[in-house]
Structure 1
C-alpha cells in the first residue's frame, strides 16, 4: 500500500497577507514522514494585479514566492492568461522552478507556449505513474484579442487522453475552469481520479464526489489550504481519496509576519510611485465628477468612439491635482478590466439605456463580487455623448434623438458585458475586446498626453 499527501492551493489572487502562514504550513507538511510522498499543486489565479507588488513586478514577485512554496506543478488562471499582455505571459515563468501544465492554450500558430506542457507524467518512489493535465477557463473573447488560441475542454480532453493512454496509473487534473465545468469533466471522463480545481472560489471542505471522481477546491485568497490523502494499492490502483482543507486562520502567526506583509505593499508602492504619469490641474482635486468624465474621454479615445459609459464604483478614490503616479492609478482603479468597443443599432442602444436606468437605484449601493471587480459597490452609471429624458423615455445621442436603425459604437468595459444587469451588450452587441492595456493603463496613457509632465 502507498499513501500520498497532496497539498494544493487555488485562487490566491496575490493575497500576500496569508503567504507567511501558507509557506510555513507547506514546508512542514512537505516533510511529513507518515506518508510515502508529498506533492504540492496550484490551480491558478495565483497572481492579481490589484496588489501593488504584483502590478509593479508584472507577477515576478509572485513567481519568486511560489518558488519558495516548492510546487510540483501548477496551471494558470484567467488572471495570469488574460490580465497580462501576451508579452508579459511569455516571460512570466522565466524564473519559475516548477512546471506549468496547460493543455488548452496555444500560440496563434497552434504551437505550445514555450513555458508550458500540456501534460506531465510523474512516477512516485513506489513506481506509481501519475498523469497531470492542466486546463484553464476557455474564454475565446478575451484570449484571442490577446493573441492566444484557447481550446474548449472537451476538444482538449478528447485530444490528450488517447495520447497518454496506458502511460499512467492515476489521473489528476489541475483545473481553473470552475466547479460546474469540473463536474462536467467528472461526468464525461470517469477515468479521472482527482480534480484539483479553482476559478469559482467554491470551498469544498471535504471535497465533492461526482461520478466516482473527487473534486477539490479551497475557496479563495488562501483562506484555506487543500490537504488531500490518496491511498494506492500494490497494483497502483487508487483505493481511497480523502480530501479536506486546513483553515489558514488557525495556522500560527510568527513575529515579523505583519512586517513582511506590509513590506510587500510598501515595495510595490515604492516602485509604482517612481513612475510619474501626468500633471493634473486643480479641477481634478478630489473631484469624482471630473475623474469620471476624463476617464470616459480616455476610453472613448482608446476605442475610437464618440460614446462611452463608466460606473462610479470603479473609482476607489478620485484623482488629485499635481503629479499622478502609477501607484495613484493602481489604488484608484485596481481592476483587471479591459475596454470593449460595442456596436449596437439605435433600438438596441435605447434598450441598453433602459436597462441601465431600470437598475440605476438598485446598483447604486449593490455590493458586487467577481468579474474582475475589485471595488465594493457598483455605483452610478455615467454616460458620455448620451442623455436620457426620464419623462419621455427618449434617448439623445450627441444632442439628437436616437435613430433606431442607425448603428452606434460605444466604449464600455468587459465588466459590463459580463454582469447580468445589461443583457443587451452580451446578446446583441458586436463586441470587440481591446487588448492589452488595462482600464487604468488606458486612462493613464490618455492623461499623459492631455496633461504631460514638464521634464525640464
Structure 2
C-alpha cells in the first residue's frame, strides 16, 4: 500500500536589514504562494530569522521599527525571532512596543526581563497542519551580554537554550524547526549536538546555502542578507507513521521575481514616510560643518567635542568615515542627523593603562586604514576615513598626552570611542579592556544633544 505523504512548505528570510529594494516583490510572492498552497491543501509557513529591522533606513527610524512590523503583517508571516538589530540597537521601551501590532508570533527563548519572558515573546510554539502534523518552532538570538544587560535585559546562551527547548517539545510535536539568529558556526554545533531538530533556519553571519546544508540528519538553510534571496524549504511527511521522508532547501533570487510598476513607487513611499516622520527640528547650526573623509574638519571637531562633553572622558578616538555628508547652516532635523550618521553605533568609554593607550594611538596612525572598506560592526558607510584624535596628541618631543596629562605606563586614562572599535578587529587592546557602553544612545543622539547644549537656537 502506497504511503500517504504530506508536503509542508516553509518560506524564510533573514538579515533583511531594512533593505526594501525588493520587498514589494518578496511580499507579493509570499502572499501568492501561501494562497496557492492553501488552495492545494498544502501546509505553508513563513518565518523571518531576525535583523529585519535596521535603524539605518529612514522608514525604520521614523516609525521606531513599527513600520517593519506592519510590512511583516502584510506579507503574512507566521513567526519571527529577533536579531541583534532589534535587540540592542533599540531601547528597551522601543523593543517592548515594536511588536504590539504584530499578527505573528515572536519566538525567542533566551531573552528575559526580570526573570520572565517579555510579554511579546514566547520560547516556543506549535502549529498543526490540516493533515494533523504538529510543527514545533523554537527560536533564539545571539548573546551580546554586555549590551543586553546595559539595556536592562537578561540574555542566556542561545545554543544551550535551544537544546533544552527541543528536548522539552520533542514528544509533543512531529517536526522541530529552529529559528536561529546565532550564526553559521553555532548552527553547525547545534545540529551536531541536537539531531532531534529537523531544520535550522539560520541568520546573523549573512551566510548563504543555495541548496541547504546537512549536518547529520539536520537541514540548515539560510538566505544571506539584504533580501537578496528568499528561502524555501520543503518537508515530505509520511502520515502513518508521522515521519520526515525527504527535506530540501532552495533559494530564489528576489531580483528575478515578478516586478510591476507600482513596486518602485512603494519603496519610495516607505522612504518618504520615514523622512516625514523625522522632520522635527533638533538644533540650529550657525555655520556650515563640512565633511573631510581624509582629515580633520569642522564636522569632526564638532562631534569630537560632543563625545568628550557627553562622556567626560580624557580623550576621544573615532574615524572620519562615520560622516556621510556635511551639515549646512540652518535648522538641523532628526532626518538630517539620521542621514549624516545612520549607523546603529553606540559610544563607549574604555579605561586603559597608559601603555595600552599608547599602543592604540600608534595603531590608529596606520596610513592604510583611511582607504579600508568597512563592512558590518554597525558601520553603514563605506571607507574608514582618517582617524580623528581629540585631546589625544603628541607634543613636539614625541610625548603622548591625554587631555593635559602625559600618558605614562601604570597610570589609567579614559578613551571615548565607538563600540565597533571595541570588538578587537582594529584595536585588540580594546577588546579585553574595561568598557562602559552608552545605551540606548547612538552617536547621532550625542551629536544632536551637543547641538542643543550649545544654545544654538
In the superposition, the TM-score normalised over structure 1's length comes to 0.95
Which moves more between the two structures, 441-450 or 1-10? Answer: 441-450
Aligned to 2:36: 32
Q: Say whether residues 1:76 and 2:82 are aligned partners.
A: yes
* 1:44-55 pair list within 5 angstroms: 44-55=50-61
3-state SS of 1:327 partner? helix
What SS class does the counterpart of residue 384 from structure 2 fall into?
Answer: coil
CA shift digits 1:413-446 (9 cap, x unpaired): 111112511111002x101111111110121111
Q: Does 1:163 align with 2:168?
A: yes
Partner of 2:71: 65
Match of 2:446 in 1: 442
Partner of 2:11: 7
- Secondary structure of the 2:325 match is coil
Note if 1:270 corresponds to 2:294: no
Alpha-carbon deviations, 1:65-123, whole Å to 9, x = none? 1100111111011110111000000111010000100000001x111100000001111
In 2: Cα distance, 1:130 partner to 1:422 partner: 46
Change (3 A) 1:154 1:42: closer
User: Relative to structure 1, is the Cα distance of residues 142 and 208 closer, same or farther in structure 2, using a 3 angstrom cutoff?
Assistant: same
What is the Cα deviation at residue 47 of structure 1? 0.9
Which residue number in structure 2 is paired with residue 241 of structure 1?
A: 247
Work out the number of aligned pairs and report it. Answer: 447
Task: Provide the rounded CA distance (Å) in 1 between the counterparts of 2:310 and 2:109.
Answer: 34
Structure 1 residue 400 displacement after superposition: 4.2
1:364 is matched with 370
Equivalents in 1 of 2:259, 2:394: separation in Å? 55
Conserved in 1, the CA contact under 8 Å of 2:163 and 2:190? no
- Equivalent residue for 1:324? 332
Q: Select which of 283, 289, 292 maps to 2:300.
A: 292
1:236 Cα deviation after fit: 1.6
Query: What is residue 412 of structure 2 aligned with on the other side?
Result: 407
The 1-side partners of 2:329 and 2:455 are apart by: 11
Equivalent-residue separation in structure 2 for 1:207 and 1:35 (angstroms) = 25
8 Å CA contact retained: 2:347, 2:416: yes
Distance in structure 2 (CA, Å) of the matches to 1:384 and 1:424: 19
Question: Could you tell which deviates more after superposition, 255-264 or 284-293?
Answer: 284-293
Identify unmatched segments of 5+ residues in structure 2: none
CA distance in structure 2 between the partners assigned to 1:286 and 1:138 by the alignment: 36
In structure 2, distance between residues paired with 1:286 and 1:181: 41
Out of 385, 391, 402, the position equivalent to 2:391 is 385
Gaps (5+ residues) in structure 1?
A: none
Q: Contact 1:346/1:404 (CA < 8 Å) preserved in 2?
A: yes
Match of 1:176 in 2: 181
- The 3 A distance-change label for structure 1 pair 279 and 123 is same
Matched, 1:128 2:133: yes
| Number of the residue aligned with 1:189 | 194
Q: Report the 3-state secondary structure (helix = DSSP H, G, I; strand = E; otherwise coil) of the residue aligned with 2:112.
A: strand
Counterpart residue number, 1:102: 108
What is the match of residue 212 of structure 2?
Answer: 207
Answering whether residue 431 of structure 2 is matched by residue 423 of structure 1, we say no
Cα RMSD, aligned residues only? 1.6
* Change over 3 Å in CA distance of 1:35–1:6 after alignment to 2: farther
TM-score, length-normalised on structure 2? Answer: 0.94
2:264 corresponding residue in structure 1: 258
